[in-house]
Structure 1
Amino acid sequence: MVMLLAFLLLLYYGAGNIHCSRVNYGNITDMLSLLDFKAATNDPTDALRSWNRSVHYCNRYPGRVAALQLPGKSLSGEITPSLGNLTFLKILDLSSNGFSGQLTPLNQLHELVILDLSTNSFQGIIPDSLTNCSNLKLLNLSSNGFSGQLTPLNQLRELVDLALRNNSFQGIIPDSLMNCSNLQVMDLSRNMLAGPIPTKIGSLYNLIGMDLSKNNLTGVIPPSIGNATHLQTLVLQENGLGGSIPDMFGKLSDMIGFSVGANSLSGRIPPSVFNLTSLQTLGLYANKLQGELPLDKCHPP
């Protein structure tokens, strides 16, 4: 899910390859970092052909590189550590390419707001150094081969959009991740996460959408999730969740989609589910739930 924040920042910095911040001095370190990145990158379509020493890397006005956007350019190779020297970088978007290897340390990118490496072939763990990118608001690592724990993310307190779907992350969803109180979108689907959904999930009061589907989660659906009163979509299907569906839906008046299919839920369907006038999608299949669906209360989309 693309956030409004990303859209506004892209409008500000433009949609080209390189854009620069309003700093009244240049820095040859940025130029050398970009040329090193170019030298290590396979570029079959010559997307980086114009990058050379004779063309100033900040072609709008002198300064430091603030945005590097190269989505869908058929680039491949491993990201060089020198990319971490672009210390004024706010947007790094290398999505929909063929980059591989482990994620290089980006511990000097303190200004980074958007990091989108989705739909590549990265592997390995999220480096602890990513916690130094403390201003990150959008982190999208979806559709790669990342693995390991989610623990390094618990210090990214400014996160608004977290998308890690379709990887191989393991372990539990750490309770400390619930301290990222600005989160509006959290997509951890299609991984290998296990253990319970944190009981403090309801402390994410700004949450709009959460997708934890297709993992190995167990335990119950925490009733505290009813405290996230702005929640519009909640997708928990294809896990090992048990117990009953908590009667917390009366608080979730903005709910549009709710799916808990293919779990081990039992008990009766809470009547409050059918009092949600905005609900368009309801997935309850392949459980052990009891009761009848009151079709007279079902509202068409």
Structure 2
Amino acid sequence: NSSSPFFFPLFLTLFPRLAHLTEMDHRSLLLPMASVLLLLFLFARPSSATRCPNCGSTAVPYPLSTSSSCGDPNYQVICNVSTGSLIFPTLNGSSYQVTSVAPQQQRFVIRPSSFIPGTCITTDIASEGVWLNQSLPFNIAAGNNIFYLNCSNALLNSPLNCSSSSLCHTYADASSEAASCRNAGICCSFTSGSSASNYTIRVRPTGCRAYRTFVVGTDTSLPLAQWQEGLVIQWQSPPELQCRSQADCDAAVASSTCSTDPASAAGVRRCLCNVDFLWDPFTGTCTK
């Protein structure tokens, strides 16, 4: 095979323990190893700094990505073209509608799961509530007002406010949709913390079976009708786009150079902005 002289030295450099194999063994490994190299090459392709088109009436700011041709693929959301709704996918098969986006704050609001009719159980109990992927750049923002409903007695030993004065009672007593929760077990309330490690609102049969969330800044001293329901999700600032060569940067990010990222221990190459230019994480461009 004419490709053998090229592939053997490359494979032996990458995989020195294969040096003892025979040439026939080498040839039998050529195809799978070539496939591995091809996959590595493809995954190193730069993403596009192009902002995604609106989803219905909802703007999709950079770095949010609804397809491989726009945004940053690590910031994936889904556009339901039939309804014009922007959807945020989470783990365990659940997804939630995005009701608003605040690009300058790097946040969006999702609508919490509804109640199963006639019960104090939210429909996402099968997926155990909201679970964000910790390897992705999203987390639950600090300051959300979160109520756990229909909880077991075990919650009395938690640091949550499960007292008779908890705001969850104010909500359940005034909400028609939560009428089934008024006499359904214990309810507890808390405010999401300032840590970027907030990834979960868990519901399950042995703990709490339902929840409700109200966005950061909700004035709970006002009547319930003026509380803003939703869960604020924030995203981390996106880094510069990865690149293989200068041609990648010329095509995706003007005024940048394909260079090794000094912050990367793995030697990742990115389209780093040239002198006198700064990376703008809101637009995915290098600006003065």
The bucket for the TM-score relative to the shorter chain is: under 0.3
Q: Quick check: which one's helix share is greater?
A: 2
State TM-score, norm by structure 1. Answer: 0.25
State TM-score, norm by structure 2. Answer: 0.26
